[in-house]
Chains A and B, each alone.
Chain A
């Protein structure tokens, strides 16, 4: 069984993962939609920027976040002045780091799914009297739902595993930013931490597995057996 301190780590990880995923969802979907359906100057650059966290070292992403969202950074300074919010060294900062790292995976899955929606069906809906919005809500969105769910699961799983950007931007503060990977790393530095490492590693695997299986079941039920996350 997990100790109270380990439970805190798990709960914090879930909170960080869920907040990161939910907060990123609208942005990820909008970016995916833009990249899938629109042509505009600078599209390639936007595409590259979205994918950047996937290819640069996470520590560099964390450092860039520190530059922008740190107390002296342009955005961090404004957040502090206007809302009294400090992201650096807080669980919100850990969620931000996880969100940035998960964004490319979410966008990729959603984009593929949106590209897979047959535009002729959208035309059919419009000809039947549906406005752009109604065609979006009733045709494009439901048909791209497998990718949206898959993107959320990938983003959530990535958030649970996020280490480099988090430790750089939000540090390793017990009860505040010490998520499962950071706790495992800390325990590995101490003698006698192996049992706790095993427990947290198992929880980590179980959480990811449950997220994948639950999203698959949800989607199969919703789509009548057509949709797949896995």
Chain B
């Protein structure tokens, strides 16, 4: 099972119940802004603690309140692409990309050269994040997540604040990654129309 999630978590001042049992490789969670989509991803990545429930992704239990399981973020294997990207400002693109390489979970995983080629980052490796355009920075964030040998991917609004051309390019990129690295992928979006094109299973939050 790609995703076996049943939990209740806190988002703002509300307790949000969420259930997702799916074997789809890519699942999109759609819902209006402020409904707690990012909080959900944070719970799955281990950056926030759910109130109760269970999270299993790709057969690995990451959190189980009943059994007292709560893996630290670094042991969960999330390849998390944040909406605000969170590139490390003091490190070059190359060192940002390589940051998660220390994890070494899959020796056969992609190397930096391969990911840089996949995401067309070869010419940017020695730049600092402040010298990147929005689209470039997003590709670096995606590359950094892919290079951390993730067990699964979490994409927070991957198309947000991109014009239609860049959104199209990013969708193509997600497709490419899906072919090259078939990982369970959970993405959240406030607008599911574009995402539906990729054949993702769409779950609506309301």
Contacts and interface: CB of A to CB of B under 8 A. Distances in A.
B102 A130 contact: yes
Interface string A120-154: 11011111111100100011001100000000000
13 contacts: A124-B80, A125-B99, A126-B47, A127-B45, A127-B46, A127-B76, A127-B78, A128-B100, A129-B100, A129-B149, A131-B74, A138-B99, A142-B90
B86 interface: yes
A208 to B, nearest CB: 28
A136 to B, nearest CB: 13
Given A121-B88, A123-B73, A139-B88, A128 B47 contact: no
Interface of A: 118, 120-121, 123-131, 134, 138-139, 142-143, 223-224, 226
Nearest to A227: B90
A226 B148 CA distance: 27
A124 B82 CA distance: 8
Given A134-B102, A142-B90, A223-B90, A128 B128 contact: no
B99 A127 contact: no
Nearest to A134: B102
A112 to B, nearest CB: 18
Contacts of B47: 123, 126-127
Contacts of B145: 128
A153 to B, nearest CB: 20
A143 B90 contact: yes
B82 A120 contact: yes
Task: Tell me the interface secondary structure of chain A in the complex.
Answer: helix
A127 B145 CA distance: 9
Nearest to B128: A224
B89 A226 contact: yes
Interface string B65-106: 000000011101110101010101110000000011011000
Interface in B23-67: 45-47
Contacts of A125: 88, 99
B177 to A, nearest CB: 17
B144 interface: yes
Given A129-B100, A129-B148, A130-B102, A124 B74 contact: no
Contact of A226 (B80, B86, B90): B90
Nearest to B95: A138
A130 B148 CA distance: 10
A139 to B, nearest CB: 6
A129 B73 CA distance: 7
Contacts of A118: 86
Nearest to B45: A127
Given A123-B73, A142-B90, A223-B90, A128 B148 contact: yes
Residue of A120, A123, A129, A226 with highest tally of chain B CB at under 10 A: A129
A127 B46 CA distance: 8
Q: Which of A126, A128, A142, A226 has the most CB of B within 10 A?
A: A128
B90 to A, nearest CB: 5
Contacts of A131: 72, 74
Contacts of A138: 99
A124 B145 CA distance: 10
Interface string B93-124: 00000011011000000000000000000000
Contacts of A224: 90, 128
A143 B129 CA distance: 14
A131 B76 CA distance: 12
For the complex of A and B, 4 pairs with smallest distance between CB atoms: A129-B103, A128-B100, A124-B86, A126-B73
A210 B77 CA distance: 48
A127 B73 contact: yes
A146 B86 CA distance: 20
